[in-house]
């Protein structure tokens, strides 16, 4: 079909063009394609290596060299604020929650890498998962955000109360790693509006979020120009968080898991795929076949700059990334009313992962479930996931 000018419709619709390209992708590395499933271990080895290559970010490994900034007593756990080195040129903020009573009653305890979401809120990162000891110090916008996405429960706190050591960092572009313009000195076209607002006011936060959304393509372009990807930076930092946890005497290095929603779910799925030190992963609201996303009207919001792994889809898909976690334990929750994902496509993706675990001989290591909820990880879902973690770690 063509337009009245004779040009094919796909030239005016990037979603149609992308869908056509995606449907033609050979995906020869997919676990369920050809004879790949006949040797799961060989498939995992080669595909994991290719996955890491496509992320284009494997900086020289460096010791975390943690620096303690402060300590807060929450009663049932202690919170340490630190920074750690994640590369020779970067240090990131990290919150460590140490339970008073380890799960099972014995030290060392199992540990969780907590992976915060995107949600269009850039002012905070790790605070999305960790509520302060004094509720009066919590920002109303952050309280509202946790209520909308997590049912009001900061799951980092909850996991620490359940006896897990919990580590949460700020992902690149969030929290203390966001754009750090000085008040009154923001770039045009935001400068005049920002100068008239009180920092951390509701209006200021709205402008901050909009600024970050507007600038994201330029940041992504700079990363691509530098030869790396946004998910590559996420993953590298998250792997260094595992290094840090394994250096702590309170942590059993063989019982580390990860948990995240949305972009945090993507980070959780990628971390389990890439690093075999993760023994159990909970990934919520992230899984769909990439080609199934493209026809959705708001697909640029479902698969944004922070997700792109150029070239991956031509060889394998997100369900294959999830299958790389096998034979370790993986739990994936999706929402039936999550408008970021076509419902049938999300269910189909879960089926592909389930089939992958079955064909590899470990069907009991995978749980995939659709909840009648929107894009959230509420207390009921958390409780089910955390009971699963108790069994898996």
Per-position pLDDT tens, the chain of length 393: 334 455 455 445 666 677 777 778 899 999 999 999 999 999 999 999 999 999 999 999 999 999 999 999 999 999 999 999 999 999 999 999 999 999 999 999 999 999 999 999 999 999 999 999 999 999 999 999 999 999 999 999 999 999 999 999 999 999 999 999 999 999 889 999 999 999 999 999 999 999 999 999 899 999 999 999 999 999 999 999 999 999 999 999 999 999 999 999 999 999 999 999 999 999 999 999 887 775 544 444 556 788 889 999 899 999 999 999 999 999 999 999 998 888 999 999 999 999 999 999 999 999 999 999 999 999 999 999 999 999 999
User: What pLDDT does 23 receive?
Assistant: 77
Q: What is the 3-state secondary structure (H, E, C) of 107-132?
A: CCEEEEEEECCCCCCCCCCHHHCCCC
CA pair distance 76, 305, nearest whole angstrom? 38
Predicted local confidence at residue 291, as pLDDT: 78
Query: What pLDDT is stored for residue 304 in this prediction?
Result: 77
Name beta bridge partners: 92.
Answer: 84
pLDDT at 3: 42
Phi, psi of 73 (to 5 degrees): -95, 120
Q: Is 139:130 a contact under the CB 8 Å cutoff?
A: no
In total, the chain counts a number of residues equal to 393
Q: Which ranges constitute the DSSP H helices of the chain?
A: 14-23, 40-55, 140-150, 155-161, 191-195, 202-225, 230-246, 263-274, 290-293, 299-302, 318-323, 343-360, 379-392
Burial class (CB in 10 A: 0-12, 13-18, 19+), 221: exposed
Given this model, what pLDDT does residue 21 score? 78
Whole-number Å distance between alpha carbons of 228 and 287: 23
Cα distance between residue 75 and residue 100, in whole Å: 8
Give me the residue label for tokens 């394609």: 33
Q: What CATH number labels 67-176+227-392?
A: 3.40.50.1820
pTM attached to this predicted model: 0.95
- Residue 46 is predicted with a pLDDT of 98
Q: How far apart are CA 273 and CA 335, in angstroms?
A: 22
Predicted local confidence at residue 303, as pLDDT: 60
Q: In whole numbers, what is the pLDDT of the chain averaged over residues?
A: 93
């Amino acid at each position: 079909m063509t337009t009245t000018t004779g040009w094919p419709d796909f030239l005016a619709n990037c979603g149609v063009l992308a869908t056509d390209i995606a449907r033609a992708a050979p995906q020869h590395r997919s676990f369920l394609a050809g004879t790949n499933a006949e040797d799961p271990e060989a498939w995992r080895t080669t595909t994991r290596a290719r996955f890491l290559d496509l992320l284009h970010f494997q900086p020289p490994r460096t010791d975390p060299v943690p620096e303690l900034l402060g300590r807060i007593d929450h009663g049932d756990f202690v919170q340490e604020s630190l920074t750690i080195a994640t590369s020779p040129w970067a240090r990131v903020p990290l919150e460590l929650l140490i339970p008073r009573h380890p799960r099972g009653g014995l030290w060392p305890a199992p540990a969780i890498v907590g992976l915060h979401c995107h949600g269009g809120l850039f002012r905070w990162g790790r605070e999305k998962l960790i509520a302060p000891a004094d509720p009066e110090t919590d920002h109303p916008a952050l309280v509202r955000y946790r209520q909308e996405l997590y049912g009001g429960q900061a799951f980092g706190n909850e996991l620490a109360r359940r006896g897990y050591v919990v580590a949460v960092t700020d992902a690149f572009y969030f929290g203390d790693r966001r754009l750090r313009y000085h008040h009154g000195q923001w770039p045009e076209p935001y400068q005049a509006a920002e100068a008239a607002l009180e920092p951390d006011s509701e209006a200021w936060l709205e402008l901050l979020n909009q600024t970050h959304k507007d600038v994201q393509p330029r940041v992504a372009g700079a990363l691509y120009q530098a030869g790396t990807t946004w998910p590559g930076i996420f993953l590298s930092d998250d792997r260094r968080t595992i290094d840090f946890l394994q250096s702590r005497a309170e942590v059993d290095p063989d019982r580390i898991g990860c948990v995240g929603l949305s972009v945090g779910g993507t980070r959780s799925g990628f971390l389990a795929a890439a690093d075999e030190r993760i023994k159990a992963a909970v990934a919520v609201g992230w899984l769909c076949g990439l080609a199934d996303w493209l026809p959705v009207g708001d697909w640029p919001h479902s698969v944004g700059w922070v997700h792109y792994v150029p070239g991956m889809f031509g060889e394998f898909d997100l369900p294959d990334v999830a299958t790389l976690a096998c034979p370790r334990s993986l739990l994936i929750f999706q929402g039936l009313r999550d408008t970021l994902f076509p419902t049938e496509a999300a269910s189909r993706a879960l089926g592909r992962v389930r089939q992958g675990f079955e064909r590899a001989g470990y069907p009991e290591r995978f749980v995939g479930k659709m909840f009648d909820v929107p894009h959230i990880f509420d207390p009921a879902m958390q409780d089910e996931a955390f009971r699963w973690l108790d069994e898996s770690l």
